[in-house]
């Protein structure tokens, strides 16, 4: 039995990758030095896997921004607006597609299946694919020459790539398969000629709900590829769920199948037991969770391996993670400040590799050879299970009475709407922002000084108040209608709340990539979640004291906190969501009691929690909606509840969005170029809604007319009486000058729209 890996975190132990990208973008790092720095990180990543005894090491999973963008560039699929004329894609064009430029808007960015990773959506309209270079061949050669590693190149599967792309009609799908098949074949032939033995072909789309036409296309693809490149073996890798069409999948003419035995609900193992596994194929057994940070129950994993070996011989099994380790931090070795009980139960990427090597050794050499390690793993898990943090009496009492907790506002929206109109007297087309303003180097530096003890709490609080006051003045000068305090005291929209709630822990260096160079440090929900004191009231009340305009209180919603955290594995996600919702209810009520009458409870991550199987969507949406409503249900009619969502295909969950019963919702639309607006041509939405009129993920400042066209498009299908105008998302990552310029254009576009539609402020 061999141990294998599917992908390794790109960012480096200390986010060296992020620092190199941002240094290059800012002009502080020349291109040659940039390439050299990324190569050094790439080699260290490979060496980390080699040193931990991994037998099958992936190559080509490293990227300069995003692996899907890499594949689009490798096939020359660059949108026309970037002026690409063919050939190898240079870094300026590559990063323009990802981040936008002065001349062209960035390509759309969205979630990678149901994870918190974002990929750049390939645009195929009018594209003429051609192989611009074989980056997998380069990666294979580098690993072999530098470290003697016989790597396994990682190729995004053709069907997954097309299903994640845009810019073609459904009836054009087969034509696109025909266009890309020769290029995939050329890549594989070149790898075979170099001596590559195995290629990992990632097809996570096979774990979603597919129909017979999809399966026929997949069969056509792999029959063609095995003919095109008979000299290389293909491991067809699935992950994130079970495969419904197990029999069709295992009948494909490939040499190995990778299956997820962690997130499959037991269905993949059941299929093997019922149907068997082909004797001419290798099984990639995804037994170690590639998305969670807990040490595995290794005894349970050995039981699973025993069950698999009843149908597949050990020499045809590669024990591996359930998915790429992209979704977890690099190493837990640096987390010395954590409680030893918690730290002992953690496994980041490096520790997961050690678990994989240990499982393979247990099969090859016998369980007795790893008895001490197995005992330590059991002890670590049991110590955390006994922790008082997992047995909070008040939380458990609340959960026992959950059925009697309010989960709906006291009156319907129309009644609340009238009460809110009387209270706020807002103009039609009210302007606002999503919550955060730029986190400048001064803001980040002040926070670091406070955390290090170089600044007192009083000095830091005074600094935050200065920032709030300055941005209240800016909002006043710009002419916004509803203000926010700017969230200068917050490092991250989830981490901030986790630090103030019981049941959360935080790492020193537990970073994971979210999109591009943006890394986040997800909280760890390890115990019962409990609210103990107000978290946001002081800053919000202070900001409100500086203006007569409404000041929104800003909270992160229960499902986003859940989905953007590493969640304990001894309770269901539904149970944990309700604990978070009850805790947030305490904060909502505290804000209302302090006179804050607009409260935004953001849920940007609600859609990404959707199961990959459509038949499982409704149960998830039911409890996700209930959790949101538990957190907001107890406020008075005149208190206006806002929420915000981004990175989503909202047409698929529009009914659930309505069921949240928020008074106002803001939705990201600009990166999808207004496509989401068409949802409201087919679906009636009767509450307040703001469709983002410009993209905050790009440094580009759109002009007034561009924003005006977005407003015009929305007002063709929405009643102006319900329409709000705002940016796509928070402005935390943007610079001061571009933020003010963009918001000024937004207000000017609103003024023009009010005049155009004869809409006047009260």
Q: State phi, psi for 523 to the nearest 5 degrees.
A: -65, 160
pLDDT, position 760: 42
Give the integer Cα–Cα distance in Å for 353 and 600: 41
- Tell me 538's DSSP state: H
**Does position 648 have pLDDT exceeding 60, yes or no?**
no
Kindly state the helix (H) or strand (E) to which residue 556 belongs, with its residue range. Answer: strand 552-556
Fold of 416-756: TIM Barrel (3.20.20)
The pair of three-digit structure tokens given for residue 283, joined into one six-digit string: 């099984």
Bridge partners of residue 653, in order along the sequence = none
Choice among 71, 263, 327, 697 that is catalytic: 697
**Does position 486 have pLDDT exceeding 60, yes or no?**
yes
Strands (E), 132-209: 152-156, 198-202
For 341-359, what is each residue's pLDDT tens digit? 999 999 999 999 999 999 9
For 700-742, what is each residue's pLDDT tens digit? 899 999 999 989 988 888 899 999 999 988 999 899 999 999 9
Q: What is the mean pLDDT of residues 86-105?
A: 95
pLDDT, position 700: 86
Give the integer Cα–Cα distance in Å for 108 and 101: 14
Helix count (H) and strand count (E) of the chain?
27, 21
CB 565 within 8 A of CB 522: yes
Bridge partners of residue 418, in order along the sequence = none
The answer to the question of whether 198 is labelled as a binding residue is no
Q: What is the mean pLDDT of residues 368-393?
A: 95
User: In residues, how long is the chain?
Assistant: 762
Please measure the distance between the N-terminal and C-terminal CA atoms of the chain and give it in whole angstroms.
74
Q: What's the pLDDT band for 698 if we cut at 50, 70, 90? A: confident
pLDDT, position 696: 84
Q: Angle at CA 352, nearest 5°, toward 41 and 209?
A: 95
The answer to the question of whether 724 is labelled as a binding residue is no
Strands (E), 158-225: 198-202
Q: State yes or no: is 71 an active-site residue.
A: no
- Percent of the chain topping pLDDT 70: 98
The answer to the question of whether 435 is labelled as a binding residue is yes
How high does pLDDT run on average in the chain? 94
Q: How far is CA 458 from CA 428, 464, 487, 597, 668, in A?
A: 41, 10, 17, 28, 37
**Does position 200 have pLDDT exceeding 60, yes or no?**
yes
* Least-confidence region, from 85-94, 549-558, 679-688: 679-688
Kindly state the helix (H) or strand (E) to which residue 550 belongs, with its residue range. Answer: none
CB 6 within 8 A of CB 49: no
Give the integer Cα–Cα distance in Å for 108 and 123: 9
631 C-beta neighbours (distance < 10 Å), count: 29
Q: What is the mean pLDDT of residues 18-31?
A: 97
The answer to the question of whether 111 is labelled as a binding residue is yes
Bridge partners of residue 155, in order along the sequence = 201
Full 3-state SS string of 323-372: CCHHHCCCCCCCCCCCCHHHHHCECCHHHHHHHHHHHHHHHHHCHHHHHH
**Does position 669 have pLDDT exceeding 80, yes or no?**
no
The answer to the question of whether 479 is labelled as a binding residue is no
The answer to the question of whether 668 is labelled as a binding residue is yes
The answer to the question of whether 519 is labelled as a binding residue is yes
Give the integer Cα–Cα distance in Å for 361 and 54: 11
Q: How far does CA 652 lie from the centroid of its chain?
A: 18
For 44-79, what is each residue's pLDDT tens digit? 999 999 999 999 999 999 999 999 999 999 999 999
Compute and round to an integer the Cα radius of gyration of the chain.
Answer: 26
* Structural class in CATH, domain 2-385: alpha beta
Domain-wise residue ranges, the chain: 2-385, 416-756
403 C-beta neighbours (distance < 10 Å), count: 6
* Closest alpha carbon to 475 in 441, 432, 426: 432
For 244-254, what is each residue's pLDDT tens digit? 999 999 999 99
- Tell me 526's DSSP state: E
Q: What's the pLDDT band for 670 if we cut at 50, 70, 90? A: low
The answer to the question of whether 116 is labelled as a binding residue is yes
Under 8 Å CB-to-CB from 294, ≥6 apart: which residues? Answer: 345, 346, 347, 381, 566, 568, 569
Kindly state the helix (H) or strand (E) to which residue 735 belongs, with its residue range. Answer: none
Q: State phi, psi for 96 to the nearest 5 degrees.
A: -65, -40
pTM above 0.85, yes or no: yes
Give the integer Cα–Cα distance in Å for 578 and 433: 28
The answer to the question of whether 301 is labelled as a binding residue is no
Phi-psi region of 346 (alpha: psi -120 to 50; beta: other; left: phi over 0): beta
The answer to the question of whether 18 is labelled as a binding residue is yes
């Amino acid at each position: 039995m061999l141990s294998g890996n599917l992908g390794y975190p790109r960012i480096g132990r200390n986010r060296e990758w992020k620092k190199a990208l941002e240094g290059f973008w800012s002009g502080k790092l020349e291109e040659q030095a940039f390439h050299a720095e990324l190569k050094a990180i790439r080699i260290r990543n490979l060496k980390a896997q080699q040193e931990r005894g991994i037998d099958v090491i992936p190559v080509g999973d490293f990227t300069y921004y995003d692996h899907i963008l890499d594949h689009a560039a490798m096939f020359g699929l660059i949108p026309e607006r970037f002026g690409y004329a063919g050939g190898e894609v240079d870094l300026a064009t590559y990063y323009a597609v990802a981040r936008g430029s002065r001349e062209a808007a960035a390509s759309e960015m969205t979630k990678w299946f149901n994870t918190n990773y974002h990929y750049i959506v390939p645009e195929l309209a009018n594209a003429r694919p051609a192989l611009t270079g074989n980056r997998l061949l380069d990666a294979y050669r580098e690993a072999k020459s530098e470290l003697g590693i016989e790597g396994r190149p990682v190729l995004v599967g053709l069907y997954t790539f097309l299903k994640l792309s845009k810019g073609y009609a459904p009836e054009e799908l087969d034509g696109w398969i025909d266009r890309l098949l020769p290029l995939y074949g050329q890549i594989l032939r070149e790898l075979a000629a170099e001596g590559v033995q195995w290629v990992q072909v990632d097809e996570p789309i096979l774990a979603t709900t597919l129909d017979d036409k999809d399966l026929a296309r997949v069969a056509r693809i792999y029959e063609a590829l095995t003919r095109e490149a008979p000299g290389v073996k293909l491991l067809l890798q699935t992950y994130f769920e079970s495969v419904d069409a197990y029999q069709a999948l295992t009948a494909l003419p490939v040499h190995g199948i990778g299956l997820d035995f962690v997130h499959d609900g037991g269905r993949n193992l059941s299929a093997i037991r019922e149907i068997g596994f082909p004797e001419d194929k290798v099984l990639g057994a995804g037994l170690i969770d590639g998305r969670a940070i807990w040490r595995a129950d290794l005894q349970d994993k050995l039981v699973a391996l025993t069950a698999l070996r009843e149908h597949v011989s050990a020499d045809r099994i590669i024990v591996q993670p359930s998915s790429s380790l992209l979704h977890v931090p690099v190493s837990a070795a640096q987390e010395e400040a954590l409680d030893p009980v918690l730290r002992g139960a953690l496994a980041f990427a490096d520790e997961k590799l050690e678990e994989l090597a240990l499982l393979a050794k247990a099969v090859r050499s016998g369980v007795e050879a790893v008895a001490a390690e197995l005992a330590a793993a059991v002890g670590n898990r049991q110590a955390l299970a006994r922790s008082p943090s997992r047995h909070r009496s008040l939380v458990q009492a609340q959960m026992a009475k959950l059925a009697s907790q309010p989960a709906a506002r006291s009156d319907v929206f129309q009644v609340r709407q009238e009460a809110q109109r009387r209270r706020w007297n807002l103009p039609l087309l009210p302007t606002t922002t999503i919550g955060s303003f730029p986190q400048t180097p001064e803001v980040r530096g002040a926070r670091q000084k406070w955390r290090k003890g170089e600044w007192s709490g009083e000095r830091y609080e005074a600094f935050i108040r200065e920032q709030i006051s300055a941005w209240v003045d800016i909002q006043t000068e710009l002419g916004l209608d509803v203000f926010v305090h700017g969230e200068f005291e917050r490092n991250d929209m989830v981490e901030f709340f986790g630090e103030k709630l019981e049941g959360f822990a935080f790492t020193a260096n537990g970073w994971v990539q979210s999109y591009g160079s943006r890394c986040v440090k997800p909280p760890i929900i390890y115990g019962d979640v409990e609210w103990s004191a107000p978290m946001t009231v002081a800053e919000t009340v202070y900001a409100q004291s500086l203006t007569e305009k409404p000041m929104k209180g800003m909270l992160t919603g229960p499902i986003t906190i859940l989905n953007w955290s590493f969640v304990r594995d001894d309770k269901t996600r539904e149970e944990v969501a309700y604990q978070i919702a009850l805790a947030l209810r305490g904060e909502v009520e505290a804000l209302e009691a302090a006179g804050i009458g607009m409260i935004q409870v953001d849920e940007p991550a609600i859609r990404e929690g959707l199961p990959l199987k459509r038949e499982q969507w409704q149960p998830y949406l039911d409890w996700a909606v209930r959790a949101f409503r538990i957190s907001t249900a107890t406020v008075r009619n005149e208190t206006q509840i806002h929420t915000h969502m981004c990175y989503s295909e909202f047409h698929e969950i529009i009914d659930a969005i309505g069921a949240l019963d928020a008074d106002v919702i803001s939705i990201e639309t600009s990166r999808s170029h207004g496509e989401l607006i068409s949802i409201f041509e087919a679906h009636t939405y009767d509450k307040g809604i703001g469709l983002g009129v410009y993209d905050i993920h790009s440094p580009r400042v759109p002009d007034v007319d561009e924003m005006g066209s977005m407003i015009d498009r929305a007002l063709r299908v929405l009643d102006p009486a319900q329409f709000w105008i705002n940016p796509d998302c928070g402005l935390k990552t943007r610079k001061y000058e571009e933020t003010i310029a963009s918001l000024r254009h937004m207000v000017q576009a609103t003024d023009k729209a009010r005049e155009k539609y004869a809409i006047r402020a009260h």
